[in-house]
Each structure stands twice: as structure tokens, then as C-alpha cells.
Structure 1
Amino acid sequence: MEKVVPDILDSSAYSIETAKQRTELDRMRREAEQRKEERRRKLVELQSQFKQLLHCNQSLPEHIRLQQTELELDPRFREEAEQLTDLQIQEVWKELAWEAEWHRVALKKLQERFWESLESDIITVVACESEHKISTYRLLPLSQRFLQLQKGGQSGRPRQCKKELSKENDMSSGGQDSSLDRAERQREDEIFSEDESQEHVGVPGGKGGHTADRLQKAAEKAERMKAKIKRRRQEWTDL
């Protein structure tokens, strides 16, 4: 009686066709690995032979020694290898670009905060014949506000000196023009001082009319004096 073969119920089990394909792929993979290994072995042998030839070439006299370009079988191999190396280097730079920029910015911030902001760093001087030594301090630069105030203070002194010199020159120069101006200014000050004193003087209620008359007369007198001063200035200008 023929034995009944049980069905394969495992979903991960290979079918007959799949198992056959997998076996064929494994065989092809093993053969490829064997060929690669054989080529690697041959390449190592060729490299060792080439190194021996280079050593022998270097030991020969210079007039019969082969140049490096003459030992190249095909320059295109070297060019392709260099291009491949450059491409790999560029790929690595692209992968590390963000991290390199992050570290560069962090280093720049640290330098600006702790190094470039210093006016002078610590300098230590050590004696040769004793254990004495002396060090300086770390100094920060002065603020812009302080520099502006210092600049303003220095510029204010020359202005005061210029004013004092101008006063001395006016006093030493003399002349009719300066004396006339001083006399006119004194008269104007006297007139205005009289007007102000009359306005602020307290007068009893019965004499309010007399106070108004005096103020009006003082104003008229001031106007006459101003006209007289103006006329004298015009005459002096015409001369």
C-alpha cells in the first residue's frame, strides 16, 4: 500500500521550485566568492612582484633607471582611481558638513566671548634665580558709553579754553567798536532792570494811576534809548 505524503502546512517552508532556485543561487554565490578570492590572491602576488621590480629599478644606475611614468601600464587606471577617491572624499564632506559647521560656529562664539573680548590676557614673568614671579590681570575693554563720556569730557575743556581766550582777546583788542558795544549793552541792562523793578514794586491802591504813568514813561524811555542805540550803530557802520 502506497504511503501518503503529508501536506506542508508551514508558510515559511520552501516549495520544491523555490528550494531549487535557492540552491542554485547559493552555488553561484559560492563560485563568485571563490573567483574573487582567487583574483585577490593573484593581485597580491602581482603587487609583491611590482614592489620587487620597483626596488630593483631604484637600485639601478640613474642613466638606465626607468621613470615612474614608464612603469604605468595604462594612465587611465590611475585617473579613474583618483576620480573615485575624490568622489568618496566629497561624499564624506557632505555627510559631515552640518557637524563641521556647528563646531565652527561654537568655536567662534567661545573665542568672541572669552578671548577676543579681552583687552589683555594674563602674562606671567618668572625670575631665573629665585622662585619669585609676577602676573598681570585679565582686563576687559572699556565700554562704548565710557569712551563717549571720556571723549566728550576731553572735548569740553578746549571749548572752555577757547571761550576764555576769546574774552581775553576782546579785552586786549580795545577799540571804539568794542567799547561802544559794551556801553550800549550796559545801558540796555540798566533800562530793563529799571523796568522790571518798577513792575515788581508794590504800590498802595490810591496811587495806581501814578504807577501806570511811571511804567508808561519808562517804556517810552526804553524805546527812545533803543532807537538812539540803533541810530549810533548805523552811523558807526556807515563810517
Structure 2
Amino acid sequence: MAIYDSLINNPNSRDKAMVWLWAQVFDIPETDPHVEDDVVACLQAMRSEIDLLSSKLKSRGVSDHLLHPGLPRLRNVASPTYLNTPWNNHRDEQSRVENRIILLWATWALQDENEQDLDSDELAALRSELDSLEVSLRNVDMPTYLYDFVLRQISVIRSALRISRVRGVAPIKEALRQVVGNCVVERDHVEAESKAASENARSVMARAGDLIKKTAEYADRFEKIRKAGEGAVGLAKTVGPILLAWVQG
């Protein structure tokens, strides 16, 4: 619902290309070097979430015709096909009152599954640190294996942070589990290569480990808020020991 409101209520957007309007909706800076990739990733996640929303409502006995025309319209305008078209081409159809009514009703019907919005400032800080880390990684002399390994892990985190604007904390948790699995499987090789790496290379690895841990701590805090402190996973406690070898270099 928040995404729809941000789309509809965006000021001075009539002639703006959809790619830049979506960038504002998803809080992606226009100066971000990954802006178009981030917008496409968010739109794909959004369309998947709309499909999931429809499936959940239907599983509760909601007739398909009650979801029309609002959900199909929103899913359609979220197509990457329209990224270079002006918002003015879509504004009238998307602004119709029946769209909002359907979305409000769907939000109410699934209120027991609604998640609190993630902290946008903290997400922005993580993305900024990720950008800085990637620059450092590309400029340091590091063994090829270690370079590829670290780049793969931060790429997984970057992808998760992209779509967390749409899917909440779930993709971050999935990404961290993938990173932990990679670290466990490749631990011996990473440790052997890191011993022969330069001090600067080990410093970059330590920064990568610290960023991954910060991401896990962020996910933990959100999970504790969502579950009122009960049954939180404690991802940071899992990630920390796995990344210890990085920090020790």
C-alpha cells in the first residue's frame, strides 16, 4: 500500500519517465550507479509480491473478480517494459479510486501478515558502505580466488538489499543464509588464501566480514521488533563465528 501511495502522490511527476519515478518510489538515489538495475530488481520483486498477494487472498476464499481491476493494473504498470514511458501515460488509470479501495481491502484482509517497513536510513547506510567496499575491492591487489569469493558475497548482499524495499527482511535473511553456506563450504580454501594475501587485501576482507555482520544485526533487530522479541533467529550470532577467520586475516 505504501508503494502505491508513493507512486500516486509523487509531486511534479507527470512528464517524468517511469524509471526515475520508480527510483523515487523505491528510495533509490538517481546518482546511484546501479539505479536502473535496482529499479528492475524491485519491479520484478513487486510483481512477484502482487502474485503472492493474489494467491493468499484466493486461498482464503476470495473470488478472483474481487481483485480486479486494481491488482492487475498495478502489476501491469510495474512492468520493466514501461520504464522509458512517461508517468502521464499511466497516471489516470492508476489513480482511479477503485484501485485504492481494492488495495486497502487486501491490506486489511491480510493484516495478520503485514510487516513493518524497514528503516530506510539504515538501509541507505548499508548500501553506501557496500558501494565503498566494492570500490576498495576493485582497487586492492588480491589473489583471484579471494577477489571472486568476496565479490560473490557482497553481490548477494547487494541483491538482497535491493529488493528488501519491496519484500522486507525476507531476502536479507535468505542472502545471509547463502553467505554462511558459502563460507562454511569454502572456509579451508579462504583461510589458506588469506594467509598468503597482503595486509591491504586482508583489511578489505575484514571490512566485508564486518559489513555482512552489520547486515545480520540489522535483520535481527527488525525480526525482534516484528516478533516482539520472541523466536528471533539471531543471524548475527550465526554469522559472527563463520566470519572470524576474515577478521583475524
Q: Tell me the TM-score range normalised by the shorter chain.
A: under 0.3
Q: RCO greater where, 1 or 2, for CA within 8 Å and sep 6 or more?
A: 2
